[in-house]
Structure 1
Amino acid sequence: MEQDRIQPERRGLHQFLAASEGRIDRWRTLHRISRAMGAGTSAADDCIAQARAVIDELRPLEHINGYPGPRLFGQVEARLAQQDWNALTRLVGRVSNALLSNSYRDQRDAWLADEEGETRLPDFLPPSIGHGQSRKPYFEVLIVSPGERSAWEDLCASFRLLRRDDDPFVYEPVVVGTFEDALLATIFNFNLQAVVIVDGFPFASAHTSPELREIITRNTPVGTRQGIDDTGVSLARLLRHLRPELDVYLSTDRDVGHLAGSEAAAPLRRIFYGAEEPMEVHLAVLDGVKDRYETPYFDNLKRYAQRPIGTFHALPVARGKSIFKSNWIRDMGEFYGANLFLAESSATTGGLDSLLEPTGNIKKAQDKAARAFGGDRSFFVTNGTSTANKIVHQALLSPGDIVLIDRDCHKSHHYGVVLAGAQPLYIDAYPLTQYSMYGSLAIRPIKQALLALKAEGKLDRARMLVLTNCTFDGHIANVRRTMLECLAIKPDLIFLWDEAWYGYARFSPFLRMRTAMGAAAKVRTMMADPAYRERYDAFRASVKDLPNTDPRLLDMELLPDPERTRVRVYETDSVHKSMSALRQGSIIVVADQDFHTVEAPFKEAFFTHTSTSPNLQIIASIDLARRQMELEGYELVQRALQLAIELRQEINQHPLISKYFRAATPAEMIPEPYRISGFADYAEPGKTVADTAQALREDEFFLDPTRITLLCGGAGYDGTQFKGLLAEKFDIQINKTSRNSVLVQININNTRSDLAHLVKALTDLSRELDRRLEEGGEAERASFAARVKALVEDVPDLPDFSRFHDALRNDPQSNTPEGDMRTAYYLAYRPECCECIRLDDPRIDQRLADGPELVSAKFVIPYPPGFPIMVPGQVITPGTIAYMRKLDVKEIHGFNAVRGLELIKPEALEGLVKGRGARA
């Protein structure tokens, strides 16, 4: 029936990971219904019933959003009651388009009914293409206040009267009257930048919608419902937990002096006495947003570019004269524009500050970034997270230290260990052989390694644990539990979490708990909580008779001693990978209780790896990325998550595409033992966001929705071939591939148009495959089936790390596998210590069978899978050789097929053993 096409079955609001997207979905649905009625293509009674149902769903949401506002929404309801379909279509179309394009933030006539204002198309063009325009950023302020709706309207009007032409921003007040309505507004309204809480409001909402009740219950901690006197403080605490970027203010008639000095005031930016003037609240709100909007370095760089500077230093492009006066490279200036060159300098004077010794605006920008990312301090890095990782390694590790490390982590960590002279103790992640990739590193083998070191008396040498979170393929660790269990064995263990691909997660209330800084804050709070101390005492009593080697320790949840635990966490983020920074913009975020003990070596490491001529534009872009994420990260990240989930569903539920392509589900990417919640996929039938939240809290691993492993082996394409096809035929860029998949990454830059582009490409390819197989006959189908089998079923086993050669181990009899990789690495610098043997040389198999052992002199890193299958000093096994011989990739770092494997000669290794004996 026509009405079925107008309004297909919709997901409940509680099924949207981005709740605001559910609201826009309802407005678009209402627009389709009204259009159908205006065209006379649907039964009136059915359409009226459908429209009323949608409006009933929207009503509670519109009470917690500034746009379209009560007046405009009231007109929508009135036109439905009058069954004026043409007028309803115009008004609903106007509102839904404004919400979809966000044009209401810039166009004040969007707030008028269609007969009161001129309909204008929103300006989507960037300033360099369109005319550009000066605009005041728009936001909304939530006011939580007791009273009746008529009083709230007066309150909103009074705040609007406080607006001044010279205000840097414009905001719209939104008023609610209960604790639960404030909670809903914070979740659904991404325009909020501040919350003003007026004491004395009740707890329960009047909304009875089962969907809204489910959202309220999911986000309200047990025990929050308290007496009226504490509701304001409790609400402030909860809102800061959900959206820490928001400024929260409290207006109360209690003893404000006493309250301001108590722990309860911690979530509040400022406290007002109830009788004070609204102007102070208004100014405080604007000042709070201005604090986050301010970009100290970028703002200063703009001022610098406007000054008449005479440059007598290196850097001819500064001010652009060598370019704009050139006969031959003037097009460079025309392409990049004048500001790029006016804002360049190699000087650190004139307010530009020094990245190496920041004392001014760079220092301020780094402090703001630390606040945004949840750390104690932060450091900007302008040559990528590869360098950020090396800085941390060199700052915290010394020769002979043991570092526990995921073998398939980014190569910068392996090189960082070499530079520091530490000894890696490699641990393998669980394999996903069918996709030719590894998953992530589980807690159990990490504990096993730590307990083994403790049993051999070497735990004091275990300095740091290095883990990737999330992995390239989207595996997210249970960070808090990982740190707690490791600290139970080694209370001062340092954690380096490589979150190069995951920096955006800080700005999602769902994913924040699984970030390094989010977990560090939780662990700190736990260690100071008397209730945790009681829990720890009970745990200690239960394990006091168990020896270190007792296998039961591996399978139980270990708890650290709060008296001995030191929370020492370092997080590296590629700001450019998931936020709006220029390429190579990275950051180190630190939450280290003992940073004062390593501050000097950290500074030295930063000096060692940081250019004395850092790119000023990259520094500015990191500053700007922080501003954006603090002010609109919640909105952007939630939309990206929702878009990624919709793309997964579109691929897997499409009757044609799913014949050949599929988005791998969490159940396929994470083995069942690591998913105790049973979570299998996003938006499963009968499942809600509550099930997703449960998996995030409980499971050892969770799959980042935005990182979609698109399986292409079923279409007969290997990853590299499919990547090339998408680029050449459809102008779709993909980065990472595996033997039978490509990685589709969704970020804050993507739109539904991008989704449609990819879906259309997959549909066209699937249709072409259908035609080819139908017209090609049995021979074509048999050839296709063989190709698919080779890619999907006949996959080589992934080679685990074997061991370091005995000559590179302090104690060859030890049960712990750490080794001196640095010595092996530098042996490769000496040609007389190395030899090369081709993979097809019979000597390879002969030595594998009879010796002497083959020992790698280099890091060997095939792309894909992109991690080292050999490291310097590693004994090469038959499995590794078999894997190398099956590889059909073109790019293998550290391996030259003509020369063969580069190996350390047996006599060079014997020399190491003799030298060690002589020293002994």
Structure 2
Amino acid sequence: MNIIVELIEAGAYYKDAPIHDLNNALKGRGFEVVFASDAEDLMRIVENNARLCGVIIDWDTCPKDLCQRIHAFNDFLPVYAFSNSDDVTDASMEDLKFNVEFFEYGLSCAEDIALTISQKTQEYVDAITPPLTRALFRFVDQGKYTFCTPGHMSGTAFQRSPIGTIFYDFFGANTFKSDISVSVGELGSLLDHSGPHAEAEKFIAETFNAERSYIVTNGTSTANKIVGLYSAPSGSTIMIDRNCHKSLTHLMMMSNVTPIYLRPTRNAYGILGGIPRKEFMPETIAGRVEKTPNATWPVHAVVTNSTYDGLFYNTDFIKRTLDVKSIHFDSAWVPYTNFSPIYKGKCGMSGDAVPGKVIYETQSTHKLLAAFSQASMIHVKGEINEATFNEAFMMHTSTSPMYPIVASTETAAAMMRGNVGRRLIDESIERAIRFRKEVKRLHAETDSWFFDVWQPENIDEKACWELKPEDAWHGFKNIDGDHMFLDPIKVTLLTPGMNKDGTLSERGIPASIVSKYLDDRGIIVEKTGPYNLLFLFSMGIDNTKAMGLLRALCDFRRDYDRNLEVKRALPSLYAANPAFYEGMRIQELAQGIHALIREHNLPELMFKAFDVLPDMVMTPYAAFQKELVGEVEEVRIEEMIGKINANMILPYPPGVPLVMPGEMLTEESRPVLDFLLMLCEIGAHFPGFETDIHGAYRQPDGGYTVKVIRQG
């Protein structure tokens, strides 16, 4: 970070000579100086170069709002203003709030001013670098040698092997120098929450509006288990979102708790809806407790917020209404909610603490902020026993955490602080809305077909858009008002084939075909449903990538209308099974899959499959104990009715459990099996379109088996 942008009008010797000397002095200290032609050019440089460490301006001639504009963009960035000695006195109180250092034009001052700029640059770097990361950088710069395990010796062990040197060169020296041992006392301990680690977690808590935050280095799957293990003692009852992440099912398999499920809705598109308000009411909970064997009043609740498809809850309502000691919002996909006002009242850490309750929010820092994989956070509001909570934390945390992951978590928080963070999220929201409007424009302009967007009609307002009961666009039945809200950053595109009333058209283009087409062109879809595609417009998505996606969608429309052969349209699909796809065209493929979906009447099947839950015969924990001692057997998936499932069954997408361990499918819940069989049949008819089903095992003959509890 050594670039300085300068805006000084030339033409007067008393300015030119000192500035010329200063530029030479700055270059002598390793700075690169770039020049702006006017204030607008300067702002464009500031906005498009994150490596800038300062701005030099002429106070006399620059627009008076320039400092305010720089501050609004980056409130930490130093500004160096040169002025005649008489003119600086016109600075207002507002001007002096900004990060401005004043200098006079004068000869023989260049070295002193360059020294001051160097010092201010270091102050700027220190101001934006969070505490643990700063300590880690300092340790690496010192080049200390440790007598530790080979992986913690700055990469020297790798350099003793030919393949090791290739590996070392690929990742770079600092990666290995910062992968250090927990025995480095000056960096404190993640497990004890001491030293710079403690400062880092305090820094993160302040940034995310939490009372206490924890850094987790092996993902939100682990963060979820830590929270659940502490909050739900053995023998207790918990309420859990039926559309939970599988890590929470694993928690229930590890911990002897009785689950009562909060049952959400789902529309004909397969989009995961919210949990209706009535599910949170005391009378509903009382009825479920009465009907559930061994259940007591729940002590803890888990709600997925947002849903995979980008639906937020009115979390203020849930916090007020849900009568439990603690509420855990699994917010893995939305770590950015504290940095835009549109999410106020829609996330776990929003607002103040709730008297008498503990609110948790787990977030995957690596998903929609900038951090290494597995970087995650637990945020807490409310009173917990920190020593006991830390025991749960340590049960699931490695005693050798990877420091670069820890530092990347803290750095992600630092990126969100101040005007810079708010701007990054605002830009993501605005870019997503622009993309939505472009798709709608093309949809309106085309004379045959184009993709549509799952959203309200009017999206001019930058907001989380409410799913209103009277609106038809969302496709949910009997939805509550002021309860669910669509995140603009999560863009769901609709393919032809399903009408807005949930019925199927005679012709259609299943989204899985579009997904494979995009994948062959280097564009990865986040989630693919029957007739919908989900794209995340995170802050890593720029205009170039957005336009690239739009272009690829237009290319698909052209190639589909031209009815290209599968060999040309979907080369990777053809290469995997040329004998099957030889001579087949893309419209034939689309209609073949669409016909199977129509044959099974997917919309009706979808509603039925998620309307009735399987019977819970034993808890997930009890079922897993049976599996551990071998009291299980494999049966064909068609034979599941009347048998107790040993594992969760979870199709991707959307990646939420359909059948929990210990549950039994009955005739009443047969639509769940019919839905699974439809997924299997599509894969059996069309190679390459097999659904990944966790808990179902594909056999050489193409059929599937599942594990059930051995009975009798």
Say whether the fold is shared (TM-score over 0.5).
yes
Q: 1:470 aligns with which of 278, 285, 306?
A: 306
Instruction: Work out whether 1:699 is the aligned partner of 2:482.
Output: yes
CA offset digits 1:821-871 (Å, max 9, x no partner): 21112212333x32322135xx56xxx5xxxx2221111111122111111
CA contact (8 A) 1:652 1:658 kept: no
CA distance in 1, matches of 2:256, 2:698: 30
- Equivalent residues in 2 for 1:418-567 (5 A)? 418-433=253-268, 435-447=269-281, 448-452=283-287, 461-486=297-322, 490=323, 492-519=324-351, 521=352, 524=354, 565-567=355-357
CA distance in 2, matches of 1:404, 1:422: 10
Partner of 2:154: 319
CA contact (8 A) 1:713 1:791 kept: no
- How far off is 1:753 after superposition? 0.8
CA distance in 2, matches of 1:103, 1:379: 28
CA distance in 1, matches of 2:379, 2:255: 20
Structure 1 residues 151 and 737, CA, compared in 2 at 3 Å: closer, same or farther? same
- How far off is 1:622 after superposition? 0.8
What is the identity, as a one-letter code, of the residue corresponding to 1:592? Answer: G
Q: 1:758 aligns with which of 549, 558, 562?
A: 549
- How far off is 1:322 after superposition? 1.9
Q: 1:835 aligns with which of 608, 628, 633?
A: 633
Partner of 2:169: 334
CA offset digits 1:754-787 (Å, max 9, x no partner): 111111111111122233399xxxx997886665
Count of residue pairs the alignment pairs up: 591
CA distance in 1, matches of 2:298, 2:93: 64
Q: 2:695 aligns with which of 891, 894, 906?
A: 894
CA contact (8 A) 1:375 1:590 kept: yes
- How far off is 1:891 after superposition? 1.1
CA distance in 2, matches of 1:481, 1:398: 26
Q: 1:859 aligns with which of 627, 648, 651?
A: 648
Larger Cα-atom Rg: 1
- What percentage of aligned pairs have identical amino acids? 25
CA contact (8 A) 1:657 1:762 kept: no
- How far off is 1:484 after superposition? 0.9
Instruction: Work out whether 1:675 is the aligned partner of 2:485.
Output: no
CA distance in 1, matches of 2:512, 2:237: 37
CA contact (8 A) 2:150 2:157 kept: no
- How far off is 1:470 after superposition? 0.7
Local SS of the residue matching 1:896: strand
What is the identity, as a one-letter code, of the residue corresponding to 1:354? Answer: S
Q: 1:605 aligns with which of 385, 392, 396?
A: 392
Local SS of the residue matching 2:485: strand
CA contact (8 A) 2:289 2:297 kept: no
RMSD over aligned CA atoms reads: 4.1
CA contact (8 A) 1:740 1:791 kept: no
CA contact (8 A) 1:409 1:867 kept: yes
CA distance in 2, matches of 1:701, 1:169: 50
CA distance in 2, matches of 1:104, 1:585: 24
CA distance in 1, matches of 2:101, 2:590: 71
What is the identity, as a one-letter code, of the residue corresponding to 1:800? Answer: F
CA distance in 1, matches of 2:184, 2:53: 38
Local SS of the residue matching 1:862: strand
CA distance in 1, matches of 2:59, 2:117: 23
CA distance in 1, matches of 2:170, 2:586: 49
Structure 1 residues 294 and 665, CA, compared in 2 at 3 Å: closer, same or farther? same
CA distance in 1, matches of 2:271, 2:473: 20
Structure 1 residues 784 and 894, CA, compared in 2 at 3 Å: closer, same or farther? closer
- Equivalent residues in 2 for 1:611-622 (5 A)? 611-622=398-409
CA distance in 2, matches of 1:806, 1:106: 60
Partner of 1:914: none
CA distance in 2, matches of 1:314, 1:780: 55
Q: 2:41 aligns with which of 86, 94, 97?
A: 94
Instruction: Work out whether 1:638 is the aligned partner of 2:429.
Output: no
Structure 1 residues 590 and 891, CA, compared in 2 at 3 Å: closer, same or farther? same
CA distance in 1, matches of 2:320, 2:401: 38
CA distance in 2, matches of 1:791, 1:736: 18
What is the identity, as a one-letter code, of the residue corresponding to 1:737? Answer: T
Instruction: Work out whether 1:723 is the aligned partner of 2:512.
Output: no
CA contact (8 A) 1:585 1:621 kept: yes
CA distance in 2, matches of 1:483, 1:158: 39
Structure 1 residues 401 and 733, CA, compared in 2 at 3 Å: closer, same or farther? same
TM-score, with structure 1 as normaliser: 0.58
Q: 2:663 aligns with which of 861, 870, 874?
A: 874
- How far off is 1:99 after superposition? 6.4
CA distance in 2, matches of 1:112, 1:156: 11
CA contact (8 A) 1:838 1:897 kept: no
CA distance in 2, matches of 1:502, 1:428: 22
Local SS of the residue matching 1:306: helix
- How far off is 1:580 after superposition? 1.1
Partner of 2:440: 652
Partner of 1:812: none
CA distance in 1, matches of 2:388, 2:530: 42
CA distance in 1, matches of 2:302, 2:101: 55
CA contact (8 A) 2:454 2:473 kept: no
CA contact (8 A) 1:292 1:630 kept: no
CA distance in 1, matches of 2:280, 2:118: 52
Local SS of the residue matching 1:438: coil
CA contact (8 A) 2:151 2:179 kept: no
CA contact (8 A) 1:94 1:114 kept: no
CA distance in 2, matches of 1:340, 1:822: 40
What is the identity, as a one-letter code, of the residue corresponding to 1:468? Answer: T
- How far off is 1:513 after superposition? 2.7
Structure 1 residues 792 and 453, CA, compared in 2 at 3 Å: closer, same or farther? closer
Q: 2:227 aligns with which of 379, 392, 395?
A: 392
CA contact (8 A) 2:238 2:260 kept: yes
Which blocks of at least 5 consecutive residues in structure 1 are unaligned? 1-66, 73-89, 116-134, 142-148, 172-285, 525-564, 682-696, 809-819, 908-920
Local SS of the residue matching 1:764: helix
CA contact (8 A) 1:856 1:875 kept: yes
CA contact (8 A) 2:466 2:485 kept: no
Structure 1 residues 629 and 734, CA, compared in 2 at 3 Å: closer, same or farther? same
Deviates more, 1:316-325 or 1:748-757: 316-325
